[in-house]
Structure 1
């Protein structure tokens, strides 16, 4: 849990302070479950020897921990294929990503050490999706929809390899959010 820090009106904030508070603001607007997903993705990135948490780390952690996210897929074999590719990341598939920065070309709202620009952009889009649905906090399906919408991110590359159509996945998530 992050504590709020007050600043006297005459004290100027540095760009580093603004980025840190923005990252804290994002994490404060996640459901407890999604905050746990982010923590799991951080541990996975560290364990894999990656410099940054990326969208594939987020997808992996979502798939492992969120039953609503798994329910958004068409079938159990599709879920198994996605998880299979994600597990292989550290033993071959995905090794070409090590040492490189994931950047799908969108300008991130902010930067944060330890996060890829694409992962930050996905978190921002998840928060916007939640707000558009009248929610104060983003959940796992909000993040999955944000990941699937970024055609150039590593999570979508995994989905393509697992024969998952990101556009169909996004439509199912949108339909589900309108019904729920």
Structure 2
């Protein structure tokens, strides 16, 4: 049986530009692999922003630290786990695309918003002087469009989505002062 989502790297799927040698951190590549497995397991046609958020929360302590305290993270993970058993059933058989962000061509296996978020994460890493996109770069990209599924889940869990980019920027500034991540 063929998987519903092709097993290709983000580079093969056109998520990263052809001239992008740096790409993603090893941690972020693992997040993508986790999101892909989750989408297949949930029976979804595409990896969407909620799949990416779920995998990001499970694997990146910097992202968890920026989002909130342990009870809020638990509530957020609860919503994401419920996705396949009720909460997200209205998303099945639909494509995540708000129309607010220009979509990329060749996004097979990815929702248009998830593909755009991956591209934005790589660009954000470049703008901040990083060689590779990190989890916080992806988190900022996931909340760019308030109609993205990741943003909807964050808002339902009580996370102030509009404040996340500024909180991430402050944490990156703090980490830059002494070289340690907060």
- TM-score tier by shorter-chain length is 0.7 to 0.9
Q: TM-score scaled to structure 2, two decimals? A: 0.83
Greater C-alpha Rg: 1
Structure 1 or 2: larger helix share? 1
Partner SS for 2:45: coil
* Aligned 8 A contact 1:110 1:120 in 2: no
Q: 1:109 aligns with which of 81, 100, 104?
A: 104
Aligned residues: 162
Aligned to 2:84: 90
Q: 2:151 aligns with which of 127, 133, 156?
A: 156
Structure 1 residue 57 corresponds to structure 2 residue 22: no
* Aligned 8 A contact 1:27 1:35 in 2: no
Aligned to 2:5: none
Unaligned runs of 5+ in 1: 1-18
Aligned to 1:69: 63
Shift >6 Å, 4+ stretches = none
Cα–Cα, structure 1 residues 51 and 28, in superposed 2: closer, same or farther, change >3 Å?
farther
Aligned to 1:127: 122
Q: How far does residue 126 in structure 1 lie from its aligned partner after superposition?
A: 0.8
* Aligned 8 A contact 1:149 1:166 in 2: no
Q: 2:161 aligns with which of 160, 163, 166?
A: 166
RMSD, aligned α-carbons: 1.8
Distance 1:145 1:62 in 2: 12
